[in-house]
A and B are shown apart, each in its own frame.
Chain A
């Protein structure tokens, strides 16, 4: 006989015994369901608006930059009394635009690697600040190029042993090896200028530069040309073949180009000068005194040698200017210390990670002023 309670589920679960129904219940029910809908809508809304910090991909928000370690190239004790230093921020290739919107292409064309940015603030006056930007341009040549491009034409740089420096009203610019520093104050008040001077002192003390390429010492120092008139060709200078490698060129005001190349010894230098002259003859004709006139634009060129130096002028407006230029150059070269001849490379920091072909735009084979024109926004 089956058991009385032999069921699994309830029987007549919905049965109720009331006899009358009330529409008020329906109305109240409608309001309650509306409230329910509001709750659900709120939950869904919150779900679509998460706290951004939980999924942060920004390196800084994800808390990666360590202040103490990352500070590395920035010297300590940048502030003078009464000033304080803000947090250091780092920008690299992929997010440089966040700091320098629009101009970042300029630095990238000079082999940009990393930017350290820090603001110094006067403790009792937060509106008086100095913004420090330290650009790591991976090679000294690039740093100089970037520096030159931004330099105010009137400002004359001081040529130090390890870099160039100049002030421009409320800003300080300097290069030190592969680093290019820009420190801009909020105004030209004495406090700011004093802080800037201290910044310069600290950077010059702490940041290891390296000796400027000898061509700078020659063209800037001895010949007093402006730094943006200096060029360097790793190869194919003037369109000539193999011998025209490692040629340094300085441009005078009258467009005359003075060029210099270091050879191993006197014999080699003489041979080089001969090769240059042969090159010039290729598109010009010989004139008196060994000068060669370009058959198209009638400018005068000539190469000569002195000791281990092969030097000359190119593109002078006339023979008089060419002679003057040659003499000037010859005089500057006499007694000038002869640099070691290194294979194909200007004095740049030894950096195994660099591959000269991989620098987009900042190829040392190109003269800095060319990439200036390309980079200028």
Chain B
């Protein structure tokens, strides 16, 4: 240090050092406080908070069902060869499309596109019906029409080969193919097996009305696959476990989904080797389209009249669904209106 004490410079420097200390101390305090606050907010003493909590969805109370007008029949049966006219006739019989669809509705149509089969093999919904239904719904003023299904085989191939992709796109509907981010856990209160199950939720966001379109098929396990079994295609996860109690599952599906109405595609019937079929000799032309609010009534009609199994008892799932008051399979006691088209 030089003899000349530069005490003024030293004082300034020391003052600067003090200011610096305060600044640093402030930063230290801030960092410590931040760490402490973080530790406090995120504190999880038992580990419960850290467990994944998937979003749980619920469908609207009462599903998507609509009030029945007094003049409407319960079951509309149209026979003939011209699909659009038959569909119109069947829907008119149960009240007309206007009784179900209001202008501005977002409507979801759920066909059966489970397998990669051409339409003639009867394993999937008739694309002509899908197309006609979309047009019908749009004419009633729907804002948006969606077509969705979660097939068993590769989705792109199934939609293409069955003809449903082209039918839906050409008729102006929006196609929803399943993606990994589309599934959420659905809560179905009172269900036997699927109280909480991964559900194809993406197409349901903002939907007001749901219409099912199912073919009439024999089924090796549950003996018939029609409008009730159709909702299987809305579930994800390990569906291959369902075969351990298929009838209980179908009853659960009836509980899960209360559609606005269903269309039973009886233009052709896969009367054996279902549900995959695979040969034209498994298919018969029956030229019928049924529209119904009641899925069990429609299925029962299909069982007796289209599959022609009057002498056989109904599959178990009917009894289970009836026990939960989900429909009336005794269609003969209901108001059935038949229409002959051309």
Contacts and interface: CB of A to CB of B under 8 A. Distances in A.
The answer to whether any beta carbons of A and B sit under 8 Å apart in the complex is yes
Interface of A: 55, 57-59, 62, 64-66, 69-70, 72, 90, 92-95, 108, 113-114, 352-353, 355, 357-358, 360
B118 A358 contact: no
Given A93-B81, A355-B79, 6 more contacts: A62-B118, A108-B81, A352-B308, A353-B308, A358-B286, A360-B342
Contact of B121 (A58, A64, A114, A355): A64
Contact of A64 (B81, B278, B309): B278
Given A59-B280, A70-B280, A360 B81 contact: yes
Contacts of B286: 353, 358
A94 B121 CA distance: 12
Contacts, number: 63
Nearest to B338: A357
Contacts of A355: 79, 305
A91 to B, nearest CB: 10
Contacts of B269: 353
B284 interface: yes
B28 to A, nearest CB: 26
B118 A57 contact: yes
B279 A66 contact: yes
Contact of B120 (A66, A92, A113): A92
A178 to B, nearest CB: 13
A342 to B, nearest CB: 18
A108 B279 CA distance: 22
Interface of B: 79-81, 118-121, 160-161, 163, 269, 271, 278-281, 284-288, 305-306, 308-310, 338, 340, 342
Contact of B163 (A57, A64, A69, A357): A57
A186 B296 CA distance: 55
A66 B279 CA distance: 7
Contacts of B81: 93, 108, 360
B342 to A, nearest CB: 6
A72 B281 contact: yes
Contacts of B160: 55
Nearest to A90: B280
A319 to B, nearest CB: 43
Contacts of B118: 57-59, 62, 64
A360 B287 contact: yes
A357 B79 contact: yes
B54 to A, nearest CB: 38
A352 B284 CA distance: 12
B284 A353 contact: yes
A345 to B, nearest CB: 16
A70 B120 CA distance: 14
A283 B161 CA distance: 62
Contacts of A59: 118, 120-121, 280
Given A64-B279, A69-B279, A358-B79, A93 B285 contact: yes
B296 to A, nearest CB: 21
Contacts of A360: 79-81, 287, 342
Given A352-B310, A358-B286, A57 B161 contact: yes
A358 B281 contact: no
Nearest to A70: B281
B133 to A, nearest CB: 18
Contacts of A57: 118-119, 161, 163
Contacts of A95: 120
A207 to B, nearest CB: 16
Contact of A358 (B161, B278, B287): B287
8 contacts: A57-B119, A59-B120, A64-B280, A92-B280, A93-B285, A108-B81, A352-B310, A358-B287
A72 B280 CA distance: 11
Q: Which 4 A-B pairs have the closest CB atoms?
A: A352-B308, A358-B79, A353-B308, A59-B120
Nearest to B82: A360
Contacts of B79: 355, 357-358, 360
